[in-house]
């Protein structure tokens, strides 16, 4: 079954850095990828005026998306460096989620060192909860509940994670897409940094030569077989629907809860139990 994927990125290039390999995999599988940029990254260079850089970076995002193979981009054009958790952004995100009806959402992780990245997580996390319920009459669209939410790493690598994606087949695409962000690469070699990180993730997890790793913020499928530790994998990539994640709730003390009661889960792969 075709899956709809929605990525939230604070800035153009965060989507490629955090999950570009996974997005290339989704495209290959026939899944539909949409990306929403919260800002246009106009504060990320002193070489251009803000207006000029915003236009350049939106164009770079389009070029990078073309390399990966998706076209559906939304620019919310918040002020770069000043992303706000406010009523206006919550409404935009709730309505975007209801419009796009994603099965899987990717977003920054909540402990990233960049303030805009952390605010993006908070906005998206809250919006997904609000989008799923008929609680606020000011939001347009029918309630939509997203199946899975994965948090990716950009500025601050994750200290722990539950899901690993083997992107070996797509690392060249990811790096080529990253190089489309020319205004950024010329000051910091992000292409080398994140190819190196993917290799590190692959070597440490043993899941593939190059990997991307994620915090699992939400998954709904529950296993009957008890607790499984972190590092197990699930695969939306599998042709078999039964290969999707199984989450273990029984006996697991849910110590952390996000808004609207979305617990942080650990999970195992059903097929390996």
Bridge partners (DSSP) of residue 139 are none
Q: How far is the CB of 190 from Zn ion (least distance, A)?
A: 11
22/184 with CB nearer Zn ion:
184
Q: How far is the CB of 107 from Zn ion (least distance, A)?
A: 12
Q: Which residue has the tokens 């042709």?
A: 239
23/232 with CB nearer Zn ion:
23
Cβ 181 vs Cβ 13: under 8 Å: yes
Q: Which residues bind Zn ion (CB under 5 A)?
A: 10-11, 14
120/248 with CB nearer Zn ion:
120
The helix/strand/coil state of 100 is: helix
Provide the pairing of β-strand 211-219 with 148-152.
Answer: antiparallel
> What's the full length of the chain, in residues?
273
Query: What are the CA-CA distances from residue 124 to residues 114, 155, 198, 267 (Å)?
Result: 16, 18, 25, 22
Q: How far is the CB of 8 from Zn ion (least distance, A)?
A: 11
10/124 with CB nearer Zn ion:
10
**Which residue number places its CB atom closest to Zn ion?**
11
Rounded to whole angstroms, how far apart are CA atoms 197 and 177? Answer: 16
Q: How far is the CB of 208 from Zn ion (least distance, A)?
A: 25
14/165 with CB nearer Zn ion:
14
- In this structure, how many other beta carbons lie within 10 angstroms of the beta carbon of residue 98? 18
The two structure tokens encoding residue 269: 């792969």
Q: How far is the CB of 145 from Zn ion (least distance, A)?
A: 27
Q: How far is the CB of 215 from Zn ion (least distance, A)?
A: 17
Question: Which residues have C-beta within 8 Å of that of residue 265, sequence separation ≥ 6?
Answer: 162, 216, 218, 219, 247, 248, 249, 252
Q: How far is the CB of 112 from Zn ion (least distance, A)?
A: 8
Q: What phi and psi values does residue 256 have, to the nearest 5 degrees?
A: -120, 125
Q: Angle at Cα 192 formed by Cα 24 and Cα 42, nearest 5°?
A: 80
Cβ 246 vs Cβ 222: under 8 Å: yes
11/218 with CB nearer Zn ion:
11
100/118 with CB nearer Zn ion:
118
Q: Measuring CA to CA, which residue among 203, 256, 263, 267 is closest to residue 230? A: 267
- What is the Rg, in whole angstroms, of the alpha carbon atoms belonging to the chain? 18
């Amino acid at each position: 079954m075709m899956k709809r994927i929605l990525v939230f990125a604070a800035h153009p290039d965060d989507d490629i850095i955090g999950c570009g390999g996974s997005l290339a995999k989704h495209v290959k599988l026939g899944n539909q990828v949409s990306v929403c940029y919260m800002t246009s990254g106009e504060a990320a260079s002193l070489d251009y005026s803000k207006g000029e850089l915003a236009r350049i970076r939106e164009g770079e995002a389009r070029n990078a998306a073309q390399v990966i193979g998706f076209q559906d981009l939304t620019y919310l054009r918040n002020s770069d460096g000043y992303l706000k958790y406010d009523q206006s952004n919550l409404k935009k995100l709730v309505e975007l989620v209801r419009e796009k009806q994603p099965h899987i959402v990717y977003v920054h992780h909540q402990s990233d060192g960049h303030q805009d990245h952390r605010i993006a997580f908070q906005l998206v996390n809250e919006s997904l909860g609000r989008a799923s319920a008929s609680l606020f009459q000011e939001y347009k669209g029918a309630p939509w509940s997203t199946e899975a939410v994965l948090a990716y790493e950009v500025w601050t690598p994750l200290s722990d994670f539950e899901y690993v994606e083997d992107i070996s087949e797509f690392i060249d695409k990811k790096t080529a897409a990253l190089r489309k962000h020319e205004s950024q690469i010329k000051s910091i070699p992000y292409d080398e940094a994140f190819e190196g990180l993917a290799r590190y993730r692959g070597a440490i997890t043993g899941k593939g030569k190059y990997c991307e790793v994620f915090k699992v913020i939400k998954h709904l499928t529950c296993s009957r077989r008890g607790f499984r530790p972190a590092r197990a994998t699930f695969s939306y990539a599998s042709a078999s629907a039964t290969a999707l994640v199984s989450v273990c709730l029984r006996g697991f003390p849910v110590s952390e809860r996000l808004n609207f009661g979305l617990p942080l889960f650990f999970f195992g792969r059903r097929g390996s139990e």
